Amino acid sequence: MIKESVGIVETKYFHIEEPIKLDSGKVLDNVTVAYETYGELNKEKSNAILICHALTGDAHAAGWHKGDKKPGWWEIVIGPGKALDSEKYFIICSNVLGGCKGTTGPSSINPKTNKPYGLDFPVITIGDMVNVQKKLVDSFGISQLTAVIGGSMGGMQVLKWMVKYPEMMKKAIPIATTAMSSPQQIAFNDVGRQAIFADPNWNKGNYYETGELPKNGLSLARMIAHITYLSDESMDIKFGRGLQDKDEISYDFSVDFQVESYLKHQGESFVKRFDANSYLYITKAVDLFDLRINDSLIDGFNNIESKVHIISVDSDWLYPTEQSTEMVTALNANNVDVSFSEIKSNYGHDAFLLEKGQLNFILSKFLSESIVEDLMMEKIVTIRENANVQDAAKMMLDKHVTHIPVVTDDYKLIGIVTSWDLSKSIATNSNQLKDIMTTTVKYCHAEDTIEEIARMMRKFDISCLPVVDGDMKVLGLITTDQISNLLS
């Protein structure tokens, strides 16, 4: 275990009391969500990041379970000092609905029959997964996430969060993903499902009580999928045409090449940790994913509020860069604050799990590029010019604040009153707010960078700034304490 790790962690479980209505119209009762968290939620509950896992991932994104030989699946970017710094952020990762690692799925017990659901489990969507994640996030009392981040199917979840809950995150980072599954992607998933269906032990999904699992079908499905996660270059570098445990071709149908042995191993190890029915349901959810409205991705992205950074991989042929740039174009058409990076790698689609250096750099840079909107307090108190000093003093005591913007009836900024101004009122024996408030008030805009605002505050020795829009209407406040906490 390296010192940058979050250390030993445990999977926790959240039970959703109310029924979950699915996109299909069906309802799921007694849903349980398996999740892990890393770091501490701050007092304001403003430092949370949600991590969304890929197709066969789980809640164990970082750290170590007792007795494990390897850490969580995204250990390379989560932990002290890494891009997703557990000493700065409160990081949440949950197993998706339909999974088999603790969250309710087809292998879970159906409360109506007291037997595993099997194919009685309803078909789910990426949107259903996101709705369940939203319930988990709400349970922490978090009103807005610092960011939602994920790759592959996790990236689809990020995109769905952006569309369905646009106000719930400040930043979004979809990685190596697409806004709609293409025919080729659907085809690969379907071949994998057909392999499971063809396994005689699948038994129409009712294999839990027979003790005979559809291992061959699930193993084949994994082998097919795993080919799409690699690139031709990475396979050539890793295997070439090297023979496996032999010096010459056998001229039969045994394993000759290293790449054959590798895929066989991937399939055999996969069946030890994953459920065949879960594979069916999750791949189907991926196939159904399409964020277009009226066949238009521009229309589908018309209500996004978060800052977005899209990341692709240059050697990814499962979700190629062209699909990422299409999303960038659609977001730009909607005036969304979007940026784009392409990871240079020969690993193919799996690069988002492997390219430690590039990922830490890109994620750190985007998360640290904070603007006033990322930090400002929005639920603030204001006061009218015709109020008296006693009104302002009582408001400061009741709300525990030291700065109150003075506004017109339509919330346009005309001044500010501070605890220092109240002291001045005693010295000058003034009772009217307009006699003691500061009218030459400094202010900033939501899109100003934190660095710019920090310089302004130091220059004028200011501890608090009102945030206004183009019409001078007050949107919130930003303080030196908030900036100091961010920069530290």
How confident is the model at residue 56, as a pLDDT?
Answer: 95
Choosing from 128, 275, 316, 421, the catalytic residue is: 316
Q: In what order do the strands lie in the sheet with 90-94?
A: 12-16, 31-38, 90-94, 48-52, 145-151, 169-175, 307-313, 338-343
Q: Edge-to-edge strands of the sheet including 464-468?
A: 444-445, 464-468, 474-479
CA–CA distances in Å: residue 484 to residues 419, 450, 475, 481: 21, 10, 21, 5
What's the rounded Cα separation, in Å, for the pair 443 and 177? 40
Give yes or no for a contact between 109 and 102, defined as CB atoms under 8 angstroms apart: no
16-70 tens-digit pLDDT = 999 999 999 999 999 999 999 999 999 989 999 999 999 999 999 999 999 898 9
Averaged pLDDT for residues 69-82: 96
Summary mean pLDDT of the chain: 93
Q: Which of 46, 86, 152, 370 is catalytic?
A: 152
Rounded distance between C-alpha atoms, residue 174 and residue 362, angstroms = 12
CATH number of this structure's domain 181-286, picked from the four choices 3.20.20.140, 1.10.540.10, 3.40.718.10, 1.10.1740.110: 1.10.1740.110
- For residues 89 and 87, give the distance between their C-alpha atoms in angstroms, rounded to a whole number: 6
Distance CA 197, CA 276 (A): 10
Using the predicted structure, report yes or no on whether residue 188 has a pLDDT greater than 50: yes
CB of 438 within 8 A of CB of 397? Answer: no
Q: Is 20 helix (H, G, I), strand (E, B) or coil?
A: strand
**Cα–Cα distance, 445 to 308 (Å, whole number):** 20
Helix (H) or strand (E) holding 389: helix 389-399
pTM score > 0.75 for this model?
yes
Q: Could you confirm whether 421 is annotated as catalytic?
A: no
Angstrom distance (rounded) from CA 395 to CA 441: 20
| 46 is an active site residue | no
Distance (Å) of CA 177 to CA 38, 158, 332, 364: 25, 10, 18, 20
Indicate the fold that domain 374-487 takes in CATH. CBS-domain (3.10.580)
Cα 297–Cα 300–Cα 303 angle in degrees, nearest 5: 130
Percent over 90 (pLDDT), the chain: 73
Does residue 427 register a pLDDT over 90?
Answer: no
Spot the catalytic one: 349, 403, 421, 425: 349
Residue closest to 379 by CA, chosen among 476, 485, 484: 476
> Which phi and psi angles does 472 have, rounded to 5°?
70, 15
Mean pLDDT for the stretch of residues 236-259: 83
Segment 463-480, tens digit of pLDDT: 899 999 989 999 999 998
- Nearest one of 162, 431, 468 to 309, comparing CA atoms: 162
Residue 265 falls in the annotated catalytic set: no
Instruction: Identify the pLDDT of residue 422.
Output: 86
- Report the range of poorest mean pLDDT among 131-140, 265-274, 422-431, 453-462: 422-431
Q: Which amino acid is at 420?
A: W
| Reported confidence tier of residue 1, pLDDT bands at 50, 70, 90 | very low
Burial class (CB in 10 A: 0-12, 13-18, 19+), 488: exposed
Average pLDDT over residues 346-355: 96
Find the DSSP H helices in 100-179: 126-139, 153-164
Q: To which residue do tokens 């592959």 refer?
A: 152
Q: What is the mean pLDDT of residues 159-178?
A: 97
Contact 61, 53 (CB under 8 A): yes
Specify the pLDDT at position 37: 98
- Burial string for 110-135 (b: 16+ CB within 10 Å, else e) reads beeeeebbbeebbbbbbbbbbbbbeb
Q: How many CB atoms lie within 10 A of CB 394?
A: 11
Q: Are 208 and 107 in contact (CB under 8 A)?
A: yes
pLDDT at 301 over 90: yes
Residue 280 contacts residue 310 (beta carbons within 8 Å):
no
Domain ranges of the chain: 181-286, 374-487
Q: How confident is the model at residue 487 (pLDDT cuts 50, 70, 90)?
A: low
| H helices present in 271-342, as ranges | 276-288, 297-300, 321-333
Rounded to an integer, what is the distance from CA 215 to the centroid of its chain? 32
Task: Take residue 443 and report the two structure tokens written for it.
Answer: 């202010």
